[in-house]
Amino acid sequence: MLAQRLIERKRDGGRLEAGEWRALTLAYTAGHVPDYQMAAFLMACFIRGLDREETAALTEAMLGSGDRLTLADLGVPRVDKHSTGGVGDKVSLVLAPLIASLGVAVPMMSGRGLGHTGGTLDKLESIPGFRTSLTLTEAKGQLSAIGCALIGQTTEIAPADRKLYALRDATSTVESIPLIASSIMSKKLAEDLTGLVVDIKRGSGSFLPQLERDLELAESMIRLGADHGCPVVALVTAMDRPLGRACGNALEVEEAIHTLKGEGPPDLLELTYALGVEMLLIAGIVESADDARRRMEKAIGTGKAAEHFQKIIEAQGGNPGVVDDPAVLPQADECELFNAPRRGFVARVEPRTVGRGIIALGGGRMKLDERRLRDYGAARRLGRAGRAARNDLRTRPHRGRDRTSSAAAGRRHQ
C-alpha cells in the first residue's frame, strides 16, 4: 500500500517527505516494491517534477542505500569530473591522469554508453586487460598509491540508484532534471570528494539541448553539493558537433593518448584544460587559472601526464605498452577510405546522427560487425584530392559485447 499511496500523491501533483523517499527507495532496492509500481512512480515524477527538498531527499536516500569511500586519510584534495555525455567525448581519459599527475586524488567513477553517447568504461575496456570493476577497497588502495582510479559504479555504492537508473532507461524517464541530478550526485558524494567539476553538454548532440534546462541541472547539482559540503563547479560546453577527430572505443583511447602527449585535436585539448583549471582551483593547489594552465601544459610537455596514464593502466590490469604503441589496441579488419571529390569545407557534422551509429548495444546483446569512423577532413579545408574520412570495420566481437563506433571531427567552443 505504501507504493500505491505515494504513486497517487505524486500523480496528483503532491510531494513526498524525506522519510517517505527513504522508505520507498529502500523497499524498492530490497525487492519489496515491484518494477511496475516503481515505473509508474518514476513517470509521475517525470511529469510532475520534484521540488528542491524532494530532490535532496531522493539523493540522500540513494546515497544511504550503500557504502561510501572514506578518503580523508589520503591527505590530498579529492576532485572528480562528470560529463553529461557527448559524441567523441574522451576528455576523462586525458583529464584524470593529467590532474592526478599534479597531486590531486581523482576517484573517477564513470558509466557506459547510453542513448547516442559513448561510455568511458567501454573505452577503457578496449585496452587489453583493463579492469574497471574495482571494489571500494581496491579503489582506495590505488588512490593511495598513484592518486587515481578509473572505475564503474560498484555494487557497494548507491545500489538504489543502479536499480532505479536501469528502470528509468527502460521507461523513458531519464531526461528529468531532478532525477538526473540526484542520480549523479548520489554516486559522486559517495566518493568522499572535496570538490566536483561538471561538464554539462549543450547542443544537438546532448541529452539536454536547451540552455535553460542545462542551467537548471547545473544549479540543482551545485545546491546538492553545497548541502553535503562538496563544492561543485559546472561548465556548459558545446555539443553541436562531435568532439575531436575520432569516435569509437579503441580510436578514442588512441586519440586520448596522443592528446596526453600534446598531439591531440585543439578542441579536445582546450576543453581538457578548461575543466582541468577548475579542478585545480577547486582543489586549492594553484593560485590562479593561469598557474593551473601552465602546470597542465608542463605535465603534458614533459610526458608526466602520459606516464601517469601508464601507471593507471598497469594498476588496473591493462597493458601499459598501449601508451607507447597504440597499435596494441584492437585493430580493424578492413579499412574503407572516403576522398573529397573537390576542394571545399565540411561545414557540419551532426553529432546525434553520428552517435546513434556508434554506441555499443550492451545488455548482453551482440552484433558481429563493429564500425568505426575516423574523420580527417571535417571543419577544415579539403584539398583537391583530400582524404575526407576513414571507416574502420571490425568483424570480430570484442569481449562478448557489440562495440559499434564511429567518429567525426569538429571545432569545440567553450
Cell of 82: 562528470
Task: Given the residues 126, 176, 183, 186, select the one marked as catalytic.
Answer: 183
Task: Given the residues 10, 22, 78, 82, select the one marked as catalytic.
Answer: 82
Q: What amino acid is encoded at 127 in this protein? A: I
Q: Which residue has the cell 532534471?
A: 177
- Catalytic residue at 186? no
- The CA distance from 388 to 376, in Å, is 5
Decide if 125 contacts 249 (C-beta within 8 A). Answer: yes
**Taking every pair of C-alpha atoms in the chain, what is the biggest distance, in angstroms?**
71
Q: Which burial class, exposed, middle or buried, applies to 269 when counting CB atoms under 10 A from its CB (0-12, 13-18, 19+)?
A: buried
Q: Which residue has the cell 548532440?
A: 205
Task: Given the residues 22, 81, 187, 394, select the one marked as catalytic.
Answer: 187
Task: Given the residues 122, 161, 199, 267, select the one marked as catalytic.
Answer: 161
- Catalytic residue at 123? no
Cell of 338: 572516403
Ramachandran class of 372: left when φ > 0, alpha when ψ lies in -120 to 50, beta otherwise = beta
- Catalytic residue at 161? yes
- Catalytic residue at 168? yes
Task: Given the residues 81, 162, 168, 372, select the one marked as catalytic.
Answer: 168
Q: What amino acid is encoded at 353 in this protein? A: T
Q: Which residue has the cell 499511496?
A: 5
Would you please indicate which residues are annotated as catalytic (active-site) residues? Answer: 82, 161, 168, 183, 187
